Amino acid sequence: MKALIISDIHSNIYALEAIWEREQDSDIIYCAGDLVDVGPFPKEVLAWVRDHNVVCVQGNHDRQVAACYREHTQLDRMLARAREWQHHNAQLLDEDDIMFLEQLPRAVDFELDGIHYGMTHMYKGYNMIVSRHAFAKFRAEMFTNTNPEMITHLIFGHTHRQGIHYLSDAMTWLNPGSVSYRRQDDPDQTAHYLTITDGSIQLQHIDYDRQPLYQYVEQVTLQKAELDTARRFFGPRE
């Protein structure tokens, strides 16, 4: 059994397709949220996720784009200098896309090779679980539709920090990192993800062609801060 674990796609279809080209022998795909926002191609990502039957949870950016769609009926009239990626993404999506984002669960649990996993987008902001007590408390609060004590591994997204963290043999949490981009203190431009094959967890990354993303960013009109971030992660490095 092989599972592909991804998170924080952020409307980056090029990185997503590069990962799949390498990992298409996966039996199932899980995504820990943030399918859209902060990237150019939300509709393509949502179509891909549906076509591949990806098991997803809802991220904070998924909620934000959906809310933006609901609240801004005149998105096309916004001043260009006020537009953010969420406005850009909301304008490209339709009612079916928004309903898909709104109906994503906040948490799911599943079993792989005898190991029980719980997946949700984030713990508490950018904080990390650093004790067994906090792990057990969060597990009990978040996963109420199952016996939470069965869950020995938690999967988070949100921070874009790839890693595996062991609190004990029976309490582990992991983050596949972001498919799309890193934090400002990490210059790595590759796509991050992880695989679980017959119970073995492997952190993965892959380089991909970012030129189409950079070309799009150079043509779209958004707030300067939004564009500067995109240029840093998708553009050429000296």
Per-residue pLDDT at 221: 87
What share of the chain in percent tops pLDDT 90?
89
pLDDT digits (tens, 9 = 90+) for 99-156: 999 999 999 999 999 999 999 999 999 999 999 999 999 999 999 989 999 999 999 9
Per-residue pLDDT at 120: 98
**43 lies in a domain?**
yes
| Number of separate domains in the chain | 1
Average pLDDT over residues 53-65: 98
**198 lies in a domain?**
yes
**166 lies in a domain?**
yes
Residues 6 or more apart in contact with residue 182 via CB below 8 angstroms: 160, 188, 189, 192, 233
Per-residue pLDDT at 79: 57
Q: Is the pLDDT of residue 77 over 80?
A: no
Q: What is the DSSP annotation of 37-49?
A: SSSS-HHHHHHHH
pLDDT digits (tens, 9 = 90+) for 16-25: 999 999 999 9
Per-residue pLDDT at 83: 84
Is 92 in a helix, a strand, or coil?
A: helix
Continuous segment of H or E residues that includes residue 206: strand 200-206
Continuous segment of H or E residues that includes residue 215: helix 211-219
Which CATH number belongs to the domain containing residue 53 in this structure? 3.60.21.10
Name the average pLDDT for the chain: 94
Closest alpha carbon to 8 in 59, 44, 49: 59
**238 lies in a domain?**
no
Range of the domain at 85: 2-233
Q: Is the pLDDT of residue 73 over 60?
A: no
**204 lies in a domain?**
yes
**Torsion over CA: 19, 192, 173, 10 (sign):** negative
Count of H-run helices and E-run strands, the chain: 8, 10
Residues 6 or more apart in contact with residue 190 via CB below 8 angstroms: 205, 206, 207, 208
Continuous segment of H or E residues that includes residue 29: strand 28-31
**17 lies in a domain?**
yes
Q: What is the DSSP annotation of 156-170?
A: --SS---EEEEEETT
**145 lies in a domain?**
yes
